[in-house]
Structure 1
């Protein structure tokens, strides 16, 4: 874009320099691999919580959310209703296992529960899926730079990768979290300005626009039909996507790792609850933007729907707005990319390098290797990012669809680990293999919508794993210490209290604050019902 202007370039330049400065300053405090992975456990819970929120929102939501809602309306909101339910499960079951163990990689749990092969399998699945996710984020961000500078997507992909990897490799998890805090502020400031400008510039009164949106059927977020071929129904959101997002937050190194840097388990849980309560408002904002853009532009088709929000910022013409929007989208993407690089480096170092090649490696050696792996994964995601450049649909939907192929395996591996007495490693691996085959058949030979892939894959995995374990290894006499039942026995036998500073440490116990998540879920469903009825 030739008229990007000095003011916009200055805003964007200050943002990039600030991120690099953060990495340099915080990098001086990183002396060991443990500092790189977990920091010094002095980061406040609210900062970790903001980091959790901004990491998952990313540029995929900033660009892809409005693009998806532009075509499908408020129904997209149905598959984002589940976050309170998700965080309720994650804080009650997943987080205590990981926080109590003191691990850097959450996949070490799989080895303790089943064995080294299952740990390697799930670590490999994470690296593959996170690589694809990061590539989609990288591509979405590159669209912004291409749109505003005229540089090709290929050049933009390389530029963004270099900036993100520099401050991440220097500062580790502390740099990830604190830069995420700043980036979140920029992201939501940009979104708020766009919403205000859009409402102000609507060619008709906002009440009339919403009434027309309702008349077109685009204001109804609650589709209660039992059509398994439709993506955005209440049932796919509350059942299928709840399972999907449980794996995103509970079985995903990128999301969990930052909470392991909290001072106490209470702080770790509170940081996750910020997403449980905040996700509804965030997604409602971006999806509402999409349906309002549909009214503003009269439903016209865009060559690439992911640029709608950028086109509006250009048309609006407020001085400095394009610079702020560019910084906001970069902020959204950087918050995801830095987390991905750090978590992928952690898993590669702990689950593979240290586990199989250098078990006695020093902290300094592991720190060096971690930084090498950060550079390695940054380079590796460039190729799939270029492949995403061929996609013209919503990158948010594309990413969700890709991730759905793998979450069933992760869900079953942890669910069986937590609750099953008889599942063994050999049976588990058979179930994972059969589950992938079954899911491939569903995806290629039926019209079942992708949100259900997690539920289907998980059900097949768990059923086959349980039966195969009984056939191969027989019934087990006792629960493993790493099951929910086993953990309660460990706490009883050791005399360790189940609570610390008012929060349950033992898995499977429900904190009082968690019940508010269930209440909030009910209120959010009621709000969406009334939103459509009262327009």
Structure 2
């Protein structure tokens, strides 16, 4: 339920961002654009299922990357000063340093929010989010699934750096001035250059990025509703064809549900990216606690967990309303409160449990041992709770990334 609520709100923000592009290009009212984009994403999600979602995501990812590169080149060519001089000026203004070691928890972008808060955030988003996990389940085997996560770990820094560079160059190009709506800066830039085809490429890149998120959201929300609610509580003994039909109906339902908060976002000119991050941060702590305790705790029970989730949301509401703590820390705060209260409430309400759940890490290790199942396949662990040696290279890569970012700022 927490996944469905959080995904509805975040997907609505993505839908609104996509509608802004269509509104900018065509002049169409953003409300109509929201409806049209929803219908397009809905049709190919229902018609093609998970296969359509994954392959369109692959195509759209390439369009996004190509669009970002074209924007970067166009921006560099239209700067008032050479790139080197521009970066030197940006450095003096403190815009090029990606390594901020401040311990001020009111700042969003610091090394500590990245290493601590955002690590917890991304562990939860990529490991306990059906929209991401469904891609993993589409892999041929566990080894391929783990390779995909490792590839993301190695390649993501280049995407982040590209958009970091875009951001500071746009700051320089526009002289740091404020915009009535910062979500359309890239479109304003493309329009001002009047280069044939550039607006279309940029619009395609932005729409591709958004649509890849929408189709994944529709599919994952439908799957969760069908398996975790409909099949479990309504109709447990139906045929596969029946569940397929039900999942398509739920896809339509969630597509319509996402439209409602998307309409609400039209009343705000705030950053869509910031909205996405803030909304997600409220729910990530609860997901972190639920999955973390489910995997590793012996004594946490359903009643205790629900108590912890309620307490976590209550504390986060107070923190957001009465402090200036930056949103990345909401995951850590919510997670700590959730875990602490859940364990305590479970012991008070239900007492100590005799054994681990079968689906916990310890329970799975015991299951593998009792049934003499192989722990490895093609060099990758099958049993949960074991770390593959290939993963340790990511730590080395992380260290190299920090050094590279430091040198980038020093060598400008």
Find the aligned partners of 2:396 and 2:268 in 1 and give their Cα distance: 39
1:165 matched to 2:42: yes
Q: Which residue pairs with 1:221 in the alignment?
A: 98
1:82-105 per-position Cα deviation (integer Å, ceiling 9, x unaligned): xxxxxxxxxxxxxxxxxxxxxxxx
Q: Which residue pairs with 2:75 in the alignment?
A: 198
1:300 shift after superposition: 2.0
| Secondary structure at 1:529 match in 2 | helix
Structure 2 unaligned spans of 5+:
none
Find the aligned partners of 1:211 and 1:392 in 2 and give their Cα distance: 32
Q: Which residue pairs with 1:145 in the alignment?
A: 22
Q: Which residue pairs with 1:45 in the alignment?
A: none
Q: Which residue pairs with 2:209 in the alignment?
A: 332
Q: Which residue pairs with 1:319 in the alignment?
A: 196
1:217-255 per-position Cα deviation (integer Å, ceiling 9, x unaligned): 111111111111111111111101111111111110000
1:393 shift after superposition: 2.5
Q: Which residue pairs with 1:290 in the alignment?
A: 167
Q: Which residue pairs with 1:77 in the alignment?
A: none
Q: What are the equivalent positions in structure 2 for 1:176-195 lying under 5 Å apart?
A: 176-195=53-72
| Secondary structure at 2:219 match in 1 | helix
Q: Which residue pairs with 1:432 in the alignment?
A: 309
1:255 matched to 2:128: no
Q: Which residue pairs with 2:341 in the alignment?
A: 464
Q: What are the equivalent positions in structure 2 for 1:407-426 lying under 5 Å apart?
A: 407-426=284-303
Find the aligned partners of 1:203 and 1:519 in 2 and give their Cα distance: 39
1:345 matched to 2:222: yes
1:359-378 per-position Cα deviation (integer Å, ceiling 9, x unaligned): 01111111111111111111
Q: Which residue pairs with 1:239 in the alignment?
A: 116
Q: What are the equivalent positions in structure 2 for 1:75-86 lying under 5 Å apart?
A: none
1:496-530 per-position Cα deviation (integer Å, ceiling 9, x unaligned): 11111111111111112211211111111111111
Q: Which residue pairs with 1:446 in the alignment?
A: 323
- TM-score by structure 1 length? 0.76
Find the aligned partners of 2:352 and 2:129 in 1 and give their Cα distance: 30
1:19-76 per-position Cα deviation (integer Å, ceiling 9, x unaligned): xxxxxxxxxxxxxxxxxxxxxxxxxxxxxxxxxxxxxxxxxxxxxxxxxxxxxxxxxx
Find the aligned partners of 2:330 and 2:288 in 1 and give their Cα distance: 11
Find the aligned partners of 1:478 and 1:159 in 2 and give their Cα distance: 52
1:134-191 per-position Cα deviation (integer Å, ceiling 9, x unaligned): 1000111111111111111111111111110000011110000011111111111111
Find the aligned partners of 1:176 and 1:426 in 2 and give their Cα distance: 36
Find the aligned partners of 1:327 and 1:457 in 2 and give their Cα distance: 37
Q: Which residue pairs with 1:65 in the alignment?
A: none
Find the aligned partners of 1:239 and 1:227 in 2 and give their Cα distance: 14
1:381 matched to 2:250: no
Find the aligned partners of 1:287 and 1:510 in 2 and give their Cα distance: 32
1:492 shift after superposition: 1.5
Find the aligned partners of 2:188 and 2:26 in 1 and give their Cα distance: 14
Find the aligned partners of 1:148 and 1:344 in 2 and give their Cα distance: 30
Q: What are the equivalent positions in structure 2 for 1:104-143 lying under 5 Å apart?
A: 124-143=1-20
Q: Which residue pairs with 1:115 in the alignment?
A: none
Find the aligned partners of 1:391 and 1:288 in 2 and give their Cα distance: 26
1:316 shift after superposition: 2.2
Find the aligned partners of 2:411 and 2:170 in 1 and give their Cα distance: 21
Find the aligned partners of 2:4 and 2:360 in 1 and give their Cα distance: 25
| Secondary structure at 1:231 match in 2 | coil
1:483 shift after superposition: 1.9
Q: Which residue pairs with 2:384 in the alignment?
A: 507
1:489 aligned residue (337, 345, 366): 366
| Secondary structure at 2:328 match in 1 | helix
1:96-120 per-position Cα deviation (integer Å, ceiling 9, x unaligned): xxxxxxxxxxxxxxxxxxxxxxxxx
Structure 1 unaligned spans of 5+:
1-123
- TM-score by structure 2 length? 0.98
Q: Which residue pairs with 1:371 in the alignment?
A: 248
1:401-437 per-position Cα deviation (integer Å, ceiling 9, x unaligned): 1111111111001111111112122211111111111
Q: Which residue pairs with 1:303 in the alignment?
A: 180
Find the aligned partners of 2:403 and 2:270 in 1 and give their Cα distance: 30
1:192-219 per-position Cα deviation (integer Å, ceiling 9, x unaligned): 1111111111110100000000000111
| Secondary structure at 2:291 match in 1 | helix
1:401 aligned residue (252, 258, 278): 278
Find the aligned partners of 2:192 and 2:334 in 1 and give their Cα distance: 45
Find the aligned partners of 2:350 and 2:245 in 1 and give their Cα distance: 41
Find the aligned partners of 1:267 and 1:312 in 2 and give their Cα distance: 40
1:485 shift after superposition: 2.0
| Secondary structure at 1:450 match in 2 | coil
